[in-house]
Amino acid sequence: MTVYKKPTLGVFAILLLALVLAGCAQQLREAQNRTLGTPASTPDQAIAEGDYARAAELYAQASATASDPDRARQLRFEAGLAAAQAGDAAMAKQILASFPPSTLNDLERARYELARREVNLVGTAPGAALEQLPPPGSGTPPQVAERVWEKRAQLHFEQNQLIAGIGALVQRGVWLVDDQMLRGNDDAIYSKALDAITAGQGPQSQAAQNADQTTVGWLALADIGQRRWNSRRERDQALAAWEERYPQHPATRAVLEQRFDYRARTSPVERNRPGQRFGQAPRPQSDTVALALPMTGKFANAAEAIRDGFMFAFENDSSAPSRPMIYDTNTMSANELVRRAESDRVGILVGPLDKPKVAEMARLNSQIPTIGLNYSDIPDSRAGFYQFALAPEDEAREVARQASKKGRNRALALVPSGDWGRRVFTAFRMELESQGGQIIDQATYEPSEPDHRDPIQRLLKSYRGSGADFIFVAGQPDQARLIRSQLRYYRARNLSMLTTSHAYTGTPNAGDDIDLNGVEFVDMPWVVGDGDFLASRRAEAEQRYGSTAKHYKRLFAMGMDAWKLTDRIAEQGLRPDDLFEGMSGVLKVNPDGTIRRYLAWAVFRNGEPQLVEMPSLSDARNDQAGSSADSRDPWAP
């Protein structure tokens, strides 16, 4: 409720106050009716209101009376899922126990696995539960992802982390496909934003410093809603200024009209529904290219390496137009970046790099074709918005794919504890299982500890009892060397160890890497590829750009491929399933606008990486290896 404060209280003002109080009373009665009124009569209504216990009850009742066996089965399955979301572990276990995973389709299996995780979290402290329920990846089914974000929001609220919880609900909103649920989510966000303002967690608070712009926008709107205004006109001016600062904010969908009786001048950006292919992308309106990176601040070194790689590729492109513009995004919001690009009549925008700003860019209704240099976790962005990143999950998938291709289907897995390790392991497991493989056993290690004997010995018991084909290890160079040495010490020399590029510094060092002998890994063609063309191009890059080309090879290669994508957009645009031979791998455009990389395969011999196989276009096209008999250097012009 917004209050308008008058300096004096005459007869007319008293009448006006009476009307305002009457309106407040009506709003209070409506809120009470929503909270304390008749329980939801349908499962969909209960879920929209966040009452999963009621939804489970209604689903179970409907299942008991359904005449069609398939319909009854589906309703009972939904009852078990809703019970898990409600925290009713007993009901969820009882119902879901009657559904063997082998009888479920892919989507049902994903929802079933989430329900099992929710049941296991019952009674777990919120902080620990958040550690065990990481954010969903971009390929997660929407029905699963929105529930993960809702659960994470609940856990944050239980710890009085109001802004973090609001941020989780904001993320939930981008996965929702039902308009009723979307509006209900918006309303819940605004209510929590009001609570945050009351608790002193406003848009300028310390707790909001790392929040995304959409979340800050909700807080700023709630701040307007809590203030005392001299007149409606004054308040509406504040709302107009808010809308100017946060254009196409989700609150313009319904909250402004319902909570403020204010008609918004903009509306949230229209995007593809999750799972759909991206639509017709806008064409560049000029030849001007802008590269947007945090050239100052904590990511400056990474930004410099990407910039240098981008400019190196540009300088070696004889058909390139005018020199790209460089924006420093360290202190720029996503809105400010788009406005700057529009003011400069930019045709193609490359960047930003940091994940929160990429997510904000994905939500904005810009007509500038854009390549975000990170993944936003938004299921399907607007047409013309592409996402290109060096994600560890992509490398884990590549290891699983390569292992399966070589007939290795039974894996042990050892990953570091924490969010990074969980994300890498999940990506590896899902890809391996999709290829028909299985995880025999899995363990985590503490990266800060100098000895990993306990998890290694536990895994080796499974290895000797089950005959695993290999062990997947995720870790940085020091950890990979230690784990390989300890595997040898415990007489597992013949157990193949497969890993990602993180185990290799990128610079040959036989003295340090001798412990990695026999370890197989994925990496970029730019880093482990051979042939005259790559060798001469790497030498040229180091001569021109020195330390960034030499010590930040992977980011430098990312910059080179960012230019390659930019050039293709300028020439003819990007389409789903387009393929490119890049320096960071073979690049494939996914239907959701993300760019997947297919990597080279290498092995350590005598302490140095040796190329085994380069990725090929057929490899990416068919998800199978290209012919090893093809001796052509695919990275030659």
Report, as an integer, the average pLDDT of 452-466.
90
- Domain end among 503, 519, 548: 503
Res 518: pLDDT: 96
Quick check: is 468 in a domain?
A: yes
In this structure, what CATH number is given to the domain that contains residue 465?
3.40.50.2300
Percent of the chain whose pLDDT exceeds 70:
88
Alpha helices for 411-452 (secondary structure H): 419-434
Distances (CA, A) of 194 to 6, 32, 191, 272: 23, 17, 5, 30
Hey, what's the torsion of the CAs at 459, 460, 461, 466, to 10 degrees? Answer: 90
441 with 475, same domain: the answer is: yes
Average pLDDT score over residue span 199-210: 89
Mean per-residue pLDDT over the chain, rounded: 86
Do 411 and 499 touch, CB atoms closer than 8 A?
A: no
| Torsion over CA: 206, 210, 214, 215 (sign) | negative
- Give, rounded to a whole angstrom, the gap between the first and last alpha carbons of the chain: 65
User: Would you say residue 615 lies in a domain?
Assistant: no
Return d(Cα 616, Cα 598) in angstroms, integer. 8
DSSP lists the bridge partners of residue 473 as 414, 499
Position 379 scores a pLDDT of 58
pLDDT tens digits along 266-287 = 777 655 544 444 556 788 889 9
**3-state secondary structure string across 74-135:** HHHHHHHHHHHHHCCHHHHHHHHCCCCHHHCCHHHHHHHHHHHHHHHHCCCCHHHHHHHCCC
Instruction: Write phi, then psi, for 601 (nearest 5 degrees).
Output: -115, 130
- For the segment 191-215, the average pLDDT, to the nearest whole number, is 90
Mean pLDDT on 366-395: 86
Integer Cα distance of 349 and 281 in angstroms: 14
CA distance 484 to 456: 10
Of residues 102, 218, 221, the one with CA closest to residue 153: 218
Q: Are 273 and 380 a contacting pair, CB within 8 Å? A: yes
Q: Is pLDDT above 50 for 13?
A: no
Q: What is the pLDDT of residue 436?
A: 85
Same domain, 472 and 432: yes
If asked whether residues 22 and 59 sit together in one domain, one would say no
Q: Is residue 202 in some structural domain?
A: no
Q: How many CA atoms lie within 13 A of 326 on its CB side?
A: 13
24 versus 248: which is more confidently predicted? Answer: 248
Instruction: Please enumerate in sequence order all residues whose Cβ is within 8 A of that of 391, keeping only pairs 6 or more positions apart, or say none.
Output: 375
Query: How many beta carbons lie within 10 A of that of residue 141, not counting itself?
Result: 20
Residue 489 maps to a domain: yes
Q: Are 635 and 529 in contact (CB under 8 A)?
A: yes
What pLDDT, in 10s, does the model give residues 100-127?
Answer: 877 888 788 888 888 888 888 888 899 8
| Under 8 Å between Cβ of 607 and 505 | no
CA gap 264, 252 in Å, rounded: 6
DSSP H or E stretch at residue 198 = helix 179-198
- Residues 22, 82: one domain? no
Closest CA to 225 of 211, 207, 238: 238
Residue-level pLDDT at 4: 52
Which helix (H) or strand (E) segment holds residue 523: the answer is strand 520-523
Please report, for residues 446, 457, 490, 516, the alpha-carbon distance to residue 452 in angstroms, rounded to integers and kept in the order given: 8, 9, 12, 16
For the stretch 236-270, what's the b/e string if a residue is b when 16 or more beta carbons lie within 10 angstroms of its beta carbon? bebbeebbeebbbbbbbbbbbeebbebebeeebbe
Query: How far apart, in whole angstroms, are the C-alpha atoms of residue 88 and residue 119?
Result: 8
- Same domain, yes or no, for 430 and 454? yes
pLDDT at 419: 84
What is the CATH classification number for the domain harbouring 88?
1.25.40
Residue 19: pLDDT band (50, 70, 90) is very low
C-beta separation of 448 from 504 below 8 A: no
Grouping H, G, I as helix, E, B as strand and the rest as coil, residue 44 is helix
Of the listed ranges 3-17, 470-484, 611-625, the one predicted with least confidence: 3-17
Listed residue (321, 284, 290, 320) closest to 307, CA to CA: 290
Confidence of residue 363 (pLDDT cuts 50, 70, 90): confident
Higher-confidence residue: 487 or 180? Answer: 487
Cβ atoms within 10 Å of 279's Cβ, excluding its own: 12
Answer yes or no: is 348 within a domain: no
Q: How far is CA 400 from CA 246, 469, 520, 525, in A?
A: 42, 12, 12, 18
* Tokens read off for 368: 């500038």
- Rounded (10°) angle between helices 232-245 and 213-226: 180
Could you tell me the pLDDT band of residue 145, with boundaries at 50, 70 and 90?
confident
Give the residue from 98, 122, 146 where a domain finishes.
122
SS3 (DSSP) at 505: coil
- Residue for token digits 């040959």? 508
**Structural domain includes residue 494:** yes
Q: Judge whether residue 38 has pLDDT over 70.
A: no
Determine, yes or no, domain membership for 94: yes
33 and 22 in a common domain: yes
Between 335 and 525, the more confident residue is 525
Q: Cα(3)–Cα(497) distance, rounded to whole angstroms?
A: 66
Q: Which whole number is the average pLDDT over 216-224?
A: 95
Rounded to a whole number of angstroms, the CA Rg of the chain reads 27
Peptide bond into 69 cis (omega under 30): no
| Residue 78 sits in the same domain as residue 19 | no
Distance CA 424, CA 562 (A): 24
* 553 pLDDT more than 90: yes
Q: What is the mean predicted confidence (pLDDT) over 595-622?
A: 93
Average the pLDDT over 216-226 and give the result: 94
Neighbours of 454 (CB within 10 A): 12
Same domain, 418 and 498: yes
Structure confidence at residue 16 (pLDDT): 39
Task: State whether 434 and 449 are in the same domain.
Answer: yes
Question: Angle 179-198/213-226 helices, nearest 10 degrees?
Answer: 60
At residue 57, the pLDDT reads: 92
Of the candidates 452, 486, 503, which is a domain's last residue?
503
| Rounded-to-integer distance, Cα 145 and Cα 129, Å | 16
CA atoms within 13 A on the CB side of 356: 17
For tokens 């030659």, the residue is 636
Is the pLDDT at 238 greater than 90, yes or no? yes
Residue 186 neighbours by CB under 8 Å, 6+ apart: 173, 250, 251, 253, 254, 255
Using CB atoms within 10 Å of the CB of residue 556, give its burial: 0 to 12 exposed, 13 to 18 middle, 19+ buried: buried
Structure tokens at 192: 């929590």
Q: Are residues 455 and 484 in the same domain?
A: yes
Whole-angstrom distance, CA of residue 348 vs CA of residue 289? 5
Q: Is residue 172 part of a domain?
A: no
Residue 552 has pLDDT above 60, yes or no: yes
Residues 499 and 396 in one domain: yes
Range of the structural domain that residue 423 is part of: 392-503
Q: Is 320 helix (H, G, I), strand (E, B) or coil?
A: coil
DSSP 171: H
d(CA 502, CA 303): 19
- Looking at the structure of the chain, the number of domains it has is 3
